[in-house]
Amino acid sequence: MTVHTLALTLAYVGSAIGVTMVVPQILRIVRHPHMPGVSPWTWAFTAIACSTWMTYGVRAGSLPQIPGNVLLVSGAIAIVLLVPAAWSRAKRALALAAAIVGVVTLSTHLSPEAVGFLAFGIGMASVWPQVYETVWLRRGLGPSALSLTSNALKVGSQLCWLAFALLTADVPVVISALVTLSTNTVISAVEVSRRRSWAAAPEVSRVLEPA
């Protein structure tokens, strides 16, 4: 197996894992529709970033970027519309559609390298609302609607993408994968710690939220 073939294989595996990561998160939200803890901003930025990565894949000839991101955009949009939020679903849908159309239109006028860095920048912005939600806003509270299975799948996907990017010297993907890996590890560690504390706490001291 050549290095190029290995890199493509890892990219397609990462893409396949990445696509499945939205399913556990959607299922957890559906089971607990009023449970907070999932940032709609993170998933909105994710939808926009994946749309830009898809454009980058077309412009740069990086085929593994295309099929997975098409499905990820759909899943991310579903999560944005399902989670509890201050904005109505109609307002969220219109704002997200306008943002995606605007970014994709802009991407068609940029060089492939510039599109990659634009996708990278949006991707970097996407992780921080969930970090803030999990680490700061929910301090002292119990379990959230965040799916640990989705987070684990995202970590696995990003490990594959990191290997692909290292083998192909794809700098935007290397940086994006490293930041996503580190932030999702922090989010998962904090959520696991809170769930363990919640399970060990006396029942009378628990916040009344579904597990």
Confidence tier at 205 by pLDDT (50, 70, 90): low
Answer yes or no: is 100 within a domain.
Answer: yes
For residue 205, tell me if it sits in a domain.
Answer: no
Residue 209 falls inside a structural domain: no
| Mean pLDDT in residue range 14-33 | 91
Q: What is the mean pLDDT of the chain?
A: 89
At residue 3, the pLDDT reads 86
Residue of 51, 116, 55 lying closest to 80 (CA atoms): 51
Domain assignment present for residue 122? The answer is yes
210 within some domain: no
For the stretch 184-203, pLDDT in tens is 999 999 999 999 988 887 76
Q: How many structural domains does the chain have?
A: 1
Whole-number percent of the chain with pLDDT over 90? 58
Mean pLDDT of 35-47: 95
Q: Tell whether 202 is covered by a domain.
A: no
CA-derived radius of gyration, the chain = 18
| 165 located within any domain | yes
For 98-145, the three-class secondary structure string (H helix, E strand, C coil) is: HHHHHHHHHHCCCCHHHHHHHHHHHHHHHHHHHHHHHHHHCCCCCCCC
Helix (H, G, I), strand (E, B) or coil at 67: helix
Under the banding of pLDDT at 50, 70 and 90, the label for residue 69 is: confident
User: In which domain, by residue range, is 149 found?
Assistant: 3-197
Least confident of 39-43, 135-139, 169-173, 205-209: 205-209
Q: Quick one: which of 131, 158, 189 has its CA closest to 72?
A: 158
Note whether residue 208 is domain-resident.
no
Predicted TM-score of the model (pTM): 0.86
| pLDDT at position 67 over 80 | no
